[in-house]
Each structure stands twice: as structure tokens, then as C-alpha cells.
Structure 1
Amino acid sequence: MAIGFSKNKLLREKEESFLSLIHENQEKLYRIAYSYVKNKDDALDIVQETVYKAYISYHKVKKIQYENTWLTRILINTSIDFIKKNNKVVSMDMEFIEKTSDFNNDNFHQTVEVKEAIEKLNEKQKTVIILRFFEDMKLEEIAKILESPVSTIKSTLYRALNEMNITLKE
């Protein structure tokens, strides 16, 4: 009887740990997903799919300090898979446009140009830009998430910024 109780307690603790991880990261997960698909409903679907995938494989996480990295990697892969699977041409969400009060505003046009430039990047470049500038992650964190050396992340970032600059100037 003591073994069964102990096993149930461990399962409960693991489940509580998982729920805590999701609760702490829910806004970040949504923001990243939204930055990929630019649509509230699709972003929520991606987050839901990510939580499901994370839940069924949570037992594979060996060290707690890697949980956030692991969860973010699942989200990024799920976002990219969603776009590929749905052959989505990601366009600007009308909600974003409606929230912008003055369409003649220079800031609005710059924001649109930046978003369009990001959409023209390849998936790895887009991911690095999103994590670095929209999620304010350090290059070392991005390297862990993407399982790449920091030097690779740096060169990907600089290539992406150069491409965006060329696109924005045109």
C-alpha cells in the first residue's frame, strides 16, 4: 500500500509541476505563436497543441532547468508545422489593423513594413528575430532552444537583419 501511495504522490507532483510550467509560460507561448501566424484563433490552437504535446512527453524532461527551453522548442516546431500543414500565407490580422487608430501614421507604416520583412525570412531567421526582439531573449537562450552554437545564432541574426534591411529599403 505504501508503494501505491508513493507512486500517486509522485504523479501528482509531476502533474503540478507541469501545470505550473504551463501557467508561468502561457502568455509567452501565445505571443510567440501569434508572431508566427498573426491570428488569434490559430495562435490559440497552436498553444493548445503545444500543451498537449508537452503533456504527453513531460516525463522525458530530465532536468527542471531545461523545461522552458524544451517547451519553447515544442511551440516553435508546432507553429512551423501548423503553417506548413495549412499552407497558410500568413497575413496581417485585422485585429492588429483595427487597434491602430491612424492609418496614415508613419509608425503604422513602419510596423507593417517590419512585419512584412519578417514574413519574407526563412523559418530559422524568423525564429531568431522573434525570440531576440519580440521575446527579448539572449543569444545564449536562443542557442539552447534551437540547439545551435551561439556563433550560428549570431550569424543567422545578422543575415536576417541584413535581409530585412534590404527589404525595408526597397
Structure 2
Amino acid sequence: MRVGRKQEKLLIQCITENQERAYRLAYSYVRNKEDALDIVQDAIHKAFMYIESLKNTSSLKSWFFRIVVTTSLDFIRKQKKIQLMDEETLEIVLPSSQDRYADLDLAKSLDELPEKYRILIILRFFEDMKIEEIAEVLDEKLSTVKTRLYQGLQKLRLNMSEEG
């Protein structure tokens, strides 16, 4: 019982210290404030449910962020059909709704990247995570993260130079 209490206290501390980062991580997947808050809330709930399965508390932060990523991906899978339909419907109903002039903003170029690159760039440069931490959070090999980060930065540069 005592070990469980200690783990819970460490989890509370981890969540408190990283709540904004967890929110931004979820938001980077779903791009909606309410959904991101729901995802973080679900992730916190899951973390408390499974805290005793965590063997090594030194990886608590990475473990928690992995739960946020998994919860975000689960949310996207559940919502994907609905969102795709909504976007298609909007394109048909409002064909001129998009701005004809390219937005030179970094955020727009980042949004155009495939998710597997975008999330790496966000975690590395906006959340200031080390490549090793990113690999652990995304449950990917270190070499895969390095390669995708490089490819993502190349694509981002290309997107920005095309828009410029």
C-alpha cells in the first residue's frame, strides 16, 4: 500500500509540473481547446488507474506523456470519420472559405506537415524535449525519431520556401 501512495504523490507532482505541456501536446493532435482538455483529463484518469503498473518511477514523466499521446490518438480515431465528413461538407458548401493568399506563418506550414513529422517538431522545438524523451513518449526507436525529425524539418523548410 505504501508504494502505491508514493507513486500517486509522484504522479500528482508530475501532472502539476507538466499540466500545460500535456495540454499543448494533446492540442497539437486535436487542435481544439475543449477536446485537448478532455484528453488530458482522460489521460490523468488512466494514469491514476494504472500507476501501480509503472515499474520505474524515474520514467514517470515519459510514461504520462505516452498516455497523453495514446489518448489523443484514440480520440482522433474515434472522431476521424466525423471530422473528415465535416471538412468535405464545408468544402462543398463554402468553396471560397479558404484564403487565396498563402499565409507565410510558421504555424500554417507546420499544420500542413503530416502528423508524424509535425508532432516531432512540436515536441522537440516547442516543448523542448530531448530526442531520447521523444522516442520514449512516442514509443519509437531513437533512430526513427532522428530520421523523421530531419525529414520533417526538410519538409517544413520546403513548405515555407514554396509559400515565400
TM-score greater than 0.5 by the shorter chain: yes
Cα distance in 1, alignment partners of residues 142 and 20 from structure 2? 26
Partner of residue 33 from structure 2, selected from 40, 45, 50: 40
Match of 2:109 in 1: 117
CA contact (8 A) 1:80 1:123 kept: no
Q: Are 2:162 and 1:163 equivalent residues in the alignment?
A: no
Q: Are 2:52 and 1:59 equivalent residues in the alignment?
A: yes
User: Deviation at 1:60?
Assistant: 1.0
Cα distance in 2, alignment partners of residues 132 and 116 from structure 1? 18
User: Deviation at 1:140?
Assistant: 1.8
Deviations 1:83-133 (A, max 9, x none): 2211236x9xxxxxxxxxxxxxxxxx433xx32333333332222111011
User: Deviation at 1:166?
Assistant: 2.4
Cα distance in 2, alignment partners of residues 138 and 10 from structure 1? 29
Cα distance in 2, alignment partners of residues 28 and 148 from structure 1? 20
Match of 1:28 in 2: 21
Match of 1:71 in 2: 64
User: Deviation at 1:75?
Assistant: 0.7
Structure 2: unaligned runs, 5 residues or longer: 88-102
The letter for the 2-side match of 1:23 is: T
- Give the superposed CA RMSD: 2.1
Cα distance in 2, alignment partners of residues 166 and 79 from structure 1? 28
The letter for the 1-side match of 2:34 is: D
- In the superposition, the TM-score normalised over structure 2's length comes to 0.76
- In the superposition, the TM-score normalised over structure 1's length comes to 0.73
